[in-house]
Amino acid sequence: MEAASIPAGPPASQRIKQLIGTYGLTAVLLIMPVWFAITDLSDDGNLVRLGENLVAGLSNGAIWALVAIGYTLVYGIVELINFAHGEIFMIGSFISASLIGTLGLTVDSSFLPVFFGLVVALVVAMVGAGTLNVLIERVAYRPLRSAPKLAPLITAVGMSFILQNVGLLWKGGNQQGVPDLLDAQHTLVTIFGVTIENADVLSVAVTIPLLIVMTTFINRSRLGKAMRATAQDPEAARLMGINVDTTISMTFLIGGMLAGAAGLIYAVYQTTIWFFQGFTGGLIAFTAAVMGGIGNLRGAVLGGLIIGFIQQMSDNRIGSQWTPAIVFAYLVLIMVFKPSGLLGEQTRDAG
């Protein structure tokens, strides 16, 4: 009688890689905060410095998360890396700064004009950036939808350079100051010695409601369901009566609007803007989307926050010249041991 064959399990190297991908990456991500916590307790006897790093990292990460969601939304629908998205973020900052100047808002303006002026600037920046993103999709990407993948990718890079030059012509090559309308560095409250400034509250207060509205819209609205159906299978969605072209345009609109909102927050938070911020910011946000899992909305938010924390701790403790290297070292580690990202890439093959 022939012995029953026992199916072979995965090789030991694969099992080790899976364990590292599940638990090791979490440990690696915790190395910096844990090490600095031990150092702070040893040197200062408290965790105030680390707390301030985390608060500032949360504020920066919230901006990157908004931009990263635009990348991941578009990729989830059309599987295109929209490299022009960083420049949409830059245009959002430029629109905001120009409108602030047009409305005559200065550091001496009282609370009500500043509040309503920023609300108007937020709406205009979101609408302007969203509309521009839709136009780019209609003119540059839609005609290439059935073309080889390389064609729309190169087109996206070309649109990025075009928008960079638009920004250069608009505001010049030097950094432009934005009035510090919120007294960004003013301490609003101190909790256990950790100071929370006006800029920190602005970043989180704008980002969280936008994320909640967007998530609710995608999960519950008819158009949101159409977006998810199109992401799953465009041809099946078309057969079910969904207007795929309109759905894709709305995806670009939402992504652009979030980038415009991030542009306003960045301008008021940093109080400086320049034409090259879209390239650097877009690269960081794209890294966040890949780190969390491209096509995964929660992954984009997680990646943005992680990069915000890493940047702040590195800038404050190690040196800003090392920050890009540290961020991308983390990205390489994650890609090696978990290529789909921390929360997993959303693919059309997934159910």
* 310-318: long-range pairs with CB below 8 Å, 24+: 310/32, 310/57, 311/57, 311/60, 311/284, 312/53, 312/54, 312/56, 312/57, 312/60, 313/32, 313/33, 313/36, 313/50, 313/53, 313/57, 314/32, 316/49, 316/53, 316/56, 317/36, 317/53
Q: Please report the pLDDT score of residue 84 as a whole number.
A: 92
User: At 81, is the pLDDT very low, low, confident or very high (cuts 50, 70, 90)?
Assistant: confident
Q: Are 317 and 36 in contact (CB under 8 A)?
A: yes
Q: Please report the pLDDT score of residue 14 as a whole number.
A: 64
Q: What is the mean pLDDT of residues 175-180?
A: 89
Burial class (CB in 10 A: 0-12, 13-18, 19+), 133: buried
pLDDT in tens, 96-144: 999 998 988 888 888 888 889 999 999 999 999 999 999 999 999 999 8
For residues 19 and 5, give the distance between their C-alpha atoms in angstroms, rounded to a whole number: 27
**Residue 192 zone, left/alpha/beta (φ > 0; ψ -120 to 50; rest):** left
Q: Are 107 and 179 in contact (CB under 8 A)?
A: yes
Q: Of 249, 229, 248, whose CA–CA distance to 239 is shortest?
A: 229
pLDDT in tens, 6-53: 455 566 666 665 666 566 777 778 888 888 899 989 888 888 889 999
For residues 255 and 89, give the distance between their C-alpha atoms in angstroms, rounded to a whole number: 10
For residues 72 and 74, give the distance between their C-alpha atoms in angstroms, rounded to a whole number: 6
Q: What is the mean pLDDT of residues 266-271?
A: 89
